[in-house]
Structure formats: structure tokens, C-alpha cells
Amino acid sequence: MREVSQFWQQYGSEILLKLWEHLYISFSAIILGVIVAIPLGALLTRLKKGAETLINVVGFLQTIPSLALLSLMIPIFGIGKGSAIAALFLYSLLPIVRNTYVGIQGVDPTYLDAAKGMGMSKWHRLLKVELPLSFSVILSGVKQSAVYVISWTTLAAYIGAGGLGDFIFNGLTLYRLDLILMGIIPITLLALLTDGVLRYVENRYVEGGR
């Protein structure tokens, strides 16, 4: 206990600071991804041609190596959190766009016919029928994206954006296992916690729908 107390006195404030930076970067990227990707995925369902091509274009972004994409953002947003958030935002798009598109496309036509019979417009049906019925599928994409982004935020330290990745990079440089674990353990717990919370919300929504 004494060693733990000494360890916390030495590194506690730094761990909390890096954890906050990690949360800020990752959740900023995820929130921006949700704001852009869900409307984009819904819009693609209204296109008669080219939807799959556009999804493939978004998917192309995930084929770019993480460090390369982070480096490409530096001339635009400078060194630091802005570049990290921009790069991670681009990485967050594909799972959400794809699941939104697939979820809306998979809505039972019976519900759409009923909505038409009630006089709903095309966009009214989208907001009142299609998005609520596909919410579980969309949330699954958000969950997948969130876990990826939280893990990839580790690399933000490479461009001076901070976060828990600083501990890992410093540990590798100094050959210190304790510093590496100070980064790995919180990142893993944060990803698992986020996955668990979103899974709980998803299950509650499905149960409520039933």
C-alpha cells in the first residue's frame, strides 16, 4: 500500500491530466463523426446511384496508415490536438456511415407503406420511422467506431497532442515497463467501459422496442 501511495503521489496528477487529454481528443472525434456520419449515411439511402461508391471512398480513409494520416493533418491544423481530432474524425466515419446506410436500408417496407398511408413525407418518414427502427444498428456502428478511436488516440502523442499515449512512447524510449503499463491499462479500461456503456444502451433500446 505504501508503494502504491508513493506511486500515486508521484504520477497521480499526470495520469489524470493525460486521461483528460485522451478523453477530450477521442470523444471530440467520435462526436464529430456521429454528427457527420449519420446524416451522410441517411442521405446515401436517398441516392439511386453511387451510394456504394461513396461508402468505399469513406472506407479508403481507413486504409491510410494512422501515423501517415496524423502527419498529413499537421500542415492543415498544426501540431497538437487539432490534427489528432481531425485524423481520428476521418477514421470514425466508416463504421457509422455504413451501419446507418445498412440499418435504414433494412427497415421493413411494411412500416414505410404504413407511414406513406398516414401522409408522411419522405423526410418525415426518415426521422419518425426509419432512423428509430434502425437505431440499434446505427449504435452498433458508433460503438465500433468509439472503441477504435479510443485505441488509435494513443498515436496522438506522436504529434504532440498528449493523451495516455505519452506514457507509452516515453516508456518505450526509456525502456520502462511501468510507464508503458500506465498508458496501456487506462486505455484498455476506457475502451472496455465505453463498449459496455454503449452495449447497455443498445440492449435497453432493443428491450424497450420489444
- Give 90-133 as a 3 state SS string: HHHHHHHHHHHHHHHHCCCHHHHHHHHHCCCCHHHHHHHHHHHH
What percentage of the chain exceeds 70 in pLDDT?
93
Does a structural domain hold residue 36? yes
> What's the gap between Cα 105 and its chain centre?
22
Model pLDDT, residue 145 = 94
Contact 55, 97 (CB under 8 A): yes
Residue 4, in any domain of the structure: no
Q: What is the CATH number of the domain that holds 38?
A: 1.10.3720.10
Q: In this structure, is residue 151 part of a structural domain?
A: yes
As a whole number, mean pLDDT of residues 141-158 equals 92
pLDDT band at 85, cuts 50/70/90?
very high
* pLDDT, mean of residues 19-31: 94
Distances (CA, A) of 56 to 33, 93, 154: 17, 11, 26
pLDDT(101) > 80: yes
Examine residue 1 and state whether it is found in any structural domain, yes or no. Answer: no
Q: Is residue 16 part of a domain?
A: yes
How many domains is the chain built from? 1
Q: What's the average model confidence in pLDDT over 87-99?
A: 92
Asked whether residue 203 carries a pLDDT value surpassing 70, the answer given is yes
pLDDT reported for residue 1: 61
For residues 12-20, average pLDDT:
88
3: confidence class by pLDDT, cuts 50, 70, 90: low
Task: Tell me what the mean pLDDT of segment 52-66 comes to.
Answer: 83
Q: What per-residue confidence (pLDDT) applies to 207?
A: 59
pLDDT at 82 over 80: yes
Q: What are phi and psi of 54, to 5 degrees?
A: -65, -35
Mean pLDDT of the chain: 86
Residue 30 belongs to domain spanning = 12-209
- Non-local CB neighbours of 109 within 8 Å, separated by 6+ positions: none
Q: Which three cell numbers stand for residue 2?
A: 505504501
Q: At CA 165, angle to CA 161 and CA 169, rounded to 5?
A: 105
Residue 3 lies in a domain: no
> Would residue 2 count as lying in a domain?
no
Q: Which three cell numbers stand for residue 145?
A: 467506431
Asked if residue 7 is part of any domain, the answer here is no
What one-character DSSP code corresponds to residue 63? Answer: G
Averaged pLDDT, 26-39: 95
73 Cβ contact partners less than 8 Å away, ≥ 6 residues apart: 82, 83, 84, 86, 87, 159
